[in-house]
Structure 1
């Protein structure tokens, strides 16, 4: 009897019947399309405003579009505008953005208009943050608020997961990113059934979000760098040096984050904190040039079009300035995310490595630089690997990134994150 007991196979998770998954398809599809449209609407409106603020307006005033004077004027004005929203608009544009990550809380509906307005003004005005955190927060809150009213029998916990998956799929134009984030979140939680059963509804939402964005917004992350066809020893050596170096550089900002945040908090009022942040960002923009402004995605494409267009020193300056701009913008109260600016920082660092050592291929430098920086700033391993991989359209880069992620992850795991608790202490 004892021998038979020993030979029994371990229990496995049961597979959910198809009829239990089918009811989730329609809600997931609706959330996916709606979340993508919110993202596209915010991004498109911000781009149109950016075109006016940094084009016809300075031209009409006889000021250079990216002159140091105009950078100071625009970034301080953006700080004032966002400060007014945070101060006066109902809901105050949500909680302190330094306390938020990709897993956004469900916010009351009254908060959402101010959060959308603050995010749109930030994106147009030039601070170094992306749209992901506020857009995810808006979509999560809308999905939870509407879903629980329209389909009250559906579990409340489903709506935030669907909205987050849909928004991530829309942001990256690929549902795989959403599935990776959700699987990473499920890793530490008890699950009922198999992993793919739990991923079915989020993957549906992410697919619909990505497809909607692809159809109406046409995003692309491929930088058009020379493909990496075959790996050799110098590529592996470059990868295991650049990725940890990028992670260490990113961790310097992570460790400085609570101190910079506390310094701005001493000003105690959004009409002081945000204009002061805009003033610092204007100085950084004047030092680093216009490519270090904004969320960084279009600017990354410009860097990639001319990987030999700047000397190593110039790439180094842009790397450090953009990292400082990300740190200041995230600490002083601007509503935005950190993924897209981190992509610019990692790209600039990787091209700096190529300029210093021409034997380092641009594709290797960019992919591993982005990987290390994202691991430090986001602490999302799958998102970091995925983002770094899609920047370089080459299957061979996946092996290289997996190798490079190991030493980089050892440097960041268990250490403070670039996210704070309400009391100002860093999340670990």
Structure 2
């Protein structure tokens, strides 16, 4: 890629060298954006959780079925695909742009599309689709913030408002402003104007901190796990860690290579109702093969794997990773709206646990961190995010030096690989008017 895509998508922000007074004044809207962004995410997830409980607990039990009954999983996912297709087909806004063509920092959609985006995301989260809320909720929060500040604070650049909303939502999603600071370092470094890097990071970190704290106070889910610490690394750990990270990255690269072909295959059906219904049917069949652990966005399921790491054989872990990555590709290709980071984290953890099971003496935390690091780097194209998630998955800061070393050869493997994102030619976006300005989305960026 010619330039950092987060910078490209966020636009060139022009600001004079920030003074202390300016930072203090702008910190108020930054904090407000953080609080509101976290609340919108929490509300979306709470409504999804209620729908999920009805679909997967109350309803099957009322007719005498277990929620993991194969026929029930097939029925729910097929119905979810049908319901999402109806929204994309008939509801104004049409579910927003196809998130297979967007990254975390893509331009916000039109405000009129937001209700339909929220509906299709909640349907997908509740119905067990293997996508997370990150891309759509960032789009929703960015669009809300830009629309609001264009009316109440016209002197604040729209690109800055969008940057704060992205940062706030990332902070809320991952439970810490550190994730947002790392991901957006390249963006704020490209801000035109004076001041140090941390002068430019001040407002995004403030928004992210407000989002993270608000999400904690509301009781939202975050990525925070704890595994036995590595301690002093041994020379062999650098080799085995690099092998696991490279293998995980190769799995992600293979998926990225297949992604456009699968996307084109589903979209050859031309009609959104046919595309998403078929996608739901395929996801249901995959759920029968992989079981309940391969359903949903993957955060709770990741926690289950890490809570009982010795309960799964190497063969089971390989099957879980394989089914989940196919489910992710199908869900992202078949018109469902959602992000790819959380499912990729589950896949990386399964790969790491598989490596721990087959490589004699490999420390558990190192295996999990390297498994997550490789495939997350492919999906996000961001070494900082990969490092952050490697540490967050284990809760072990002693891994940081060895992961920094392992990141380097892994990045060389990833940097020229195909992006885990589709370049849209308009397609259904053009037919249903769901691009950011009513037209097709072209040259979308990847974070």
Asked if TM exceeds 0.5, the reply is yes
Which residue, 403, 416, 419 being the options, matches 1:417? 419
Change (3 A) 1:165 1:311: same
In the alignment, which residue of structure 2 is the partner of 1:306? Answer: 308
CA shift for structure 1 position 426: 8.9
Partner of 2:185: 183
Q: Match for residue 255 of structure 2?
A: 253
Distance in 1 between the 2:349 and 2:389 partners? 12
Distance 2:193 2:233 in 1: 39
Give the CA deviation at 1:44: 1.2
> Shift of the alpha carbon at 1:210?
0.5
The 2-side partners of 1:303 and 1:294 are apart by: 14
Q: How does 1:137-286 map to 2 (within 5 A)?
A: 137-187=139-189, 190-286=192-288
> 2:24 matched to 1:22?
yes
Give the structure 2 partner of residue 356 of structure 1: 358
Structure with greater Cα Rg: 1
Shift of 1:218: 4.6
CA distance in 2, matches of 1:187, 1:419: 24
8 Å Cα contact 2:189/2:200 also seen in 1: no
SS in 1 for 2:311: coil
Alignment match of 1:136 (pick from 113, 129, 138) = 138
Task: Tell me which of 372, 382, 385 is aligned to 2:384.
Answer: 382
CA-based RMSD: 1.7
Q: Partners in 1 of 2:258 and 2:393 — Cα distance? A: 28
Out of 78-87 and 380-389, give the one that drifted further.
Answer: 380-389
SS at match of 2:206: helix
Secondary structure of the equivalent of 1:406? helix
Alpha-carbon distance in structure 2 between the residues aligned to 1:219 and 1:266: 37
2:106–2:445 contact (8 Å) kept in structure 1: no
Structure 2 residue aligned with 1:11: none
What CA distance in whole angstroms lies between the structure 2 residues aligned with 1:299 and 1:127? Answer: 13
Looking at structure 1, the residues matched to 133 and 235 of structure 2 have their Cα atoms a distance apart, in angstroms, of: 38
TM-fit CA distance, 1:67 = 1.7
Distance in 2 (alpha carbons) for counterparts of 1:333 and 1:150: 35
Is 1:333 the counterpart of 2:316 in the alignment? Answer: no
Distance 1:15 1:158, change over 3 A: closer
Structure 2 stretches lacking a partner, 5+ long: 1-15, 427-442
User: Deviations along 1:282-310, whole A, 9 cap, x unmatched?
Assistant: 11111111101000000011111111101
Aligned equivalent of 1:99: 101
Q: Deviations over 1:38-60 (max 9, x none)?
A: 00011111112111211111111
C-alpha distance in 2 between matches for 1:375 and 1:328 = 20
TM-score, L = length of structure 2: 0.90
Among 349, 372, 395, the residue aligned to 1:347: 349
**2:407 aligns with one of 401, 405, 427:** 405
Gaps in structure 1 of 5+ consecutive residues? 1-13
Conserved? CA contact 1:112–1:138, under 8 Å: yes
1:327 is paired with a residue whose SS is helix
- What is the CA-CA distance between 1:22 and the residue it aligns to? 1.6
Instruction: Render the CA deviation track for 1:19-78: whole Å, top value 9, x for unaligned.
Output: 122210110011000000000011111112111211111111222211211111011000
* SS in structure 2 at match of 1:223: coil
The equivalent residue for 1:44 is: 46
Secondary structure at 1:402 match in 2: helix
In structure 2, relative to structure 1, the CA distance for the partners of 1:419 and 1:189 (3 Å cut) is: farther
Aligned twin of 2:128: 126
Does residue 1:76 correspond to 2:69, yes or no? no
CA displacement at 1:187 relative to structure 2 = 4.5
Q: Which has the higher contact order (CA 8 A, sep 6+)?
A: 2
Bigger mean CA deviation after superposition, 150-159 or 285-294: 150-159
Distance 1:147 1:427, change over 3 A: closer
Q: How many residues align?
A: 416
Match of 2:6 in 1: none
